[in-house]
């Protein structure tokens, strides 16, 4: 895997670090390939239950590497989109640990995470219009699904930033923690997820992601098709037994 992206796994948690601090962790093709490879490993390795995406040197991501862009390089992976992530969410949970700035493509990376733990000095924005571009890696579509559409419109048209407190008030992020502690807090959140049944976690994420497009008439049938295997699984029985026996469950993921 590229040195532009570093990974480590411990206790079922993979930490994926964008490692271009000299460029404020801007996304070039090497970063896109590295993140895509990490997401493939997350979903294919049963020992990994959840991933955390963060940036090196107390900075999340300043967006697309514009110097690389003007040379014709596009940090896009077919089928996965910008940064190897924005068009294809992994099956397993992904937590963003944001220190500093998450701007433009960096904001779109944050929007592609399932949960966000951010520093109290973080800034978010999609200022692409200031550079003659557009937030086409999901910002224009995902942001109005997560916050009021008029606020999303304002951010897209003005290119203004919002701080972590405003992002929390809008429901864009899950936790705001002191600067320098986001990875620690994200690991604590990830540990809570790891403690739960793998099949339940993946199915729950899938339903929440897909239900946006379901009609009222079809939603329960579509949900049933996804969750039915859980109720006849080994882990369902194990969860009930563990509760009755007042012990921690031993999940097998089947």
Instruction: List the catalytic residues.
Output: 108, 128
CA–CA dist 47, 63 (Å, integer):
31
Which of 115, 91, 100, 93 shows the shortest CA–CA distance to 63? Answer: 100
Q: What is the DSSP string of 128-189?
A: GGGGT---TTTHHHHHHHHS-HHHHHHHHHH--EEEHHHHHHTTS-SEEE-TT-HHHHHHHH
Cβ distance 9 to 48 under 8 Å? yes
CA–CA dist 189, 183 (Å, integer):
10
Sorted by sequence, the CB contacts under 8 Å of residue 206 that are 6+ apart come out as: 91, 226
What is the total residue count of the chain? 254
């Amino acid at each position: 895997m590229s040195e532009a992206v570093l990974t480590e796994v411990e206790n079922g948690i993979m930490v994926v670090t964008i490692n271009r601090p000299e460029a404020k962790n801007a996304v070039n093709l090497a970063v896109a390939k590295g993140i895509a490879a990490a997401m493939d490993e997350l979903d294919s390795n049963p020992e990994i239950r959840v991933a955390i995406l963060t940036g090196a040197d107390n900075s999340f991501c300043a967006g697309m590497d514009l110097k690389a862009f003007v040379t014709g390089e596009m940090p896009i992976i077919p089928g996965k989109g910008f940064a190897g992530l924005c068009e294809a969410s992994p099956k397993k949970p992904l937590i963003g640990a944001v220190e500093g700035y998450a701007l433009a493509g960096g904001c779109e990376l944050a929007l592609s995470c399932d949960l966000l733990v951010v520093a109290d000095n973080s800034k978010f924005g999609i200022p692409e219009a200031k550079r003659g571009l557009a937030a086409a890696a999901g910002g224009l579509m995902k942001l109005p699904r997560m916050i009021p559409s008029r606020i999303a419109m304002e951010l897209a048209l003005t290119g203004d930033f919002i701080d972590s407190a405003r992002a929390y008030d809008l429901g864009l992020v899950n936790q705001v923690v002191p600067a320098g502690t986001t990875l620690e807090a994200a690991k604590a959140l990830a540990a809570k997820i790891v403690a739960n049944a793998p099949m339940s976690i993946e199915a729950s994420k899938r339903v929440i992601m897909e239900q946006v497009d379901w009609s009222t008439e079809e939603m329960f049938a579509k949900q049933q098709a996804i969750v039915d295997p859980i109720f006849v699984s080994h882990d369902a029985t194990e969860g009930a037994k563990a509760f009755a026996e007042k012990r921690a469950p031993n999940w097998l993921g089947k």
